Amino acid sequence: MTWRRLGRWGTLAILVLGFLLLGSGGAFADHWTVEVSAPEEGALGETIQLTATVHDAATGEPVEGAELVFFSSVTFAGVGGDIELGEALTNDLGVAVFDYELRKLGTHTITIEGGGEPNILSFPVTIGGQLYRSPAGISLIPGAGGWVVTLVIGAIWVIMIIVGVSVVRVSRGSPPAGNEAEAEEDERERSAGTKWLNTATMVTAVMVVVAGGIVALLIRSPNTHHNRDPVGYDRSAVAFVEGAYAYPDFGLADDAAAEAEIGRGLFVTFGCAGCHGVDAEGTTTAKSPASASYDWVRQVTRNGQPGMPSYSEQELNDTQLNEIFAFLAETRGELGG
């Protein structure tokens, strides 16, 4: 009887305590003032820092260890909501820093909660540099590498060859004892060329050859990943079409035709041809730039536009730009645009 009574009061006490704690959490936060800041704008692929500075509202002292939560808002099929990006704690100066990776173009709106009213940050994101480079992946069994794969696949093939051998034994099976007629027929079958030239031996032979090839492939296979070592892993163009295009360093040409010829090479080496086609004829990915004006080509090349990267002076100098334009001008005639 007393136990039941105690249990009832205990439950009530826990509930009351819970409510008090919940209420007090909010009460603490109301004493803060929070200032948030972000860079004016960001480039796609960059990681920017969102900072929030927390002060005690009453004393003006910085608050250490305050927790701030960062959200980004999304709508899908009429349903909107905030996605939690992560949390950050303030340091002894009351400053919390959150690293935010910019993966989408357009205006980003970030809501920061903690300490009273939520704070909202908004900034535009434009096109930037390389978006992503994969770091090296895991290795399943350190040190063992391809040998494990080789052994597993080798074992499978050894079993298959064992199967082949037992089929060969079927084909060479002895004639039934005591049956002269069948034994004779058997002998005829064998001498008719089916003794060795039969599926069993051929299948087994093929299996041995394929197994040998697979094991050779695995053993020959290099043991490393190139992107474990990003040195020498550059993004310059590697495709040259049958060597017919001039390199950019061939020297300056005097006449327009030679200039256009160099431009044709640059069009490939700088990757333009990747989207615009080798003859600047345009593809499903990008239109033909052949009929564009000089100013427009220059403007788009220098500043980029959605879908097209920008090329600065350091990457592509004015001479080269002119040469590319000479090539476009020449193509314009060819394409009749």
Asked whether 317 and 308 are in contact (CB, 8 A), the reply is: no
Please select the residue that binds another protein; options are 18, 97, 172, 240, rule is CB under 8 A: 172
Size of the site for another protein (CB under 8 A): 62
Among 6, 15, 217, 237, binds another protein (CB under 8 A): 217
- Does 222 interact with another protein (rule: CB under 8 A)? yes
169 forms part of the interface with another protein (CB under 8 A): yes
Q: Whose CA is closest to 123, among 102, 142, 137, 147?
A: 102
Told to check if 34 binds another protein by CB under 8 A, we report: no
- Binding residue for another protein, selected from 105, 151, 237, 257, defined by CB under 8 A: 105
- Pull the structure tokens for residue 102: 């910019």
Q: Which is nearer to another protein, 4 or 220 (CB)?
A: 220
Residues between 249 and 278 that touch another protein (CB under 8 A): 274-275
Toward another protein, which CB reaches closer, 8 or 104? 104
Among residues 162, 237, 244, 257, the one that binds another protein under rule CB under 8 A? 162
Sole binder of another protein in the list 164, 263, 265, 289 (CB under 8 A): 164
Q: Is 143 in the site for another protein (CB under 8 A)?
A: no
Partners of 150 in the beta sheet?
none
Told to check if 104 binds another protein by CB under 8 A, we report yes
Shortest Å distance, C-beta 202 to another protein: 9
Minimum gap (Å) between residue 334 Cβ and another protein:
18
Task: Tell me: does residue 207 bind another protein (CB under 8 A).
Answer: yes
194 touches another protein by CB under 8 A:
yes
Structure tokens at 39: 């860079």
**218 binds another protein, rule: CB under 8 A:** yes
Phi, psi of 5 (to 5 degrees): -60, -45
The residue (of 24 and 126) whose beta carbon lies closer to another protein is: 126
Site for another protein (CB under 8 A): which residue of 1, 27, 77, 138?
77
Instruction: Quickly tell me which residue has 């826990």 as its tokens.
Output: 14
Instruction: Determine the Cα–Cα distance for residues 59 and 150; give it in Å rounded to an integer.
Output: 69
* Candidate residues 2, 47, 59, 174; the one interacting with another protein per rule CB under 8 A: 174
Query: What six digits make up the tokens of 180?
Result: 């002269």
Stretch near another protein under the rule CB under 8 A, chosen from 25-33, 51-59, 217-225, 257-265: 217-225
Q: What is the contact surface with another protein in residues (CB under 8 A)?
A: 44, 74, 76-77, 81, 83, 103-105, 127, 131-132, 134, 146, 149-150, 153, 156-157, 159-160, 162-164, 166-167, 169-176, 182, 186, 189-190, 192, 194, 197-200, 203, 206-207, 210, 213-214, 217-218, 221-222, 225, 274-275, 283-285, 306-307
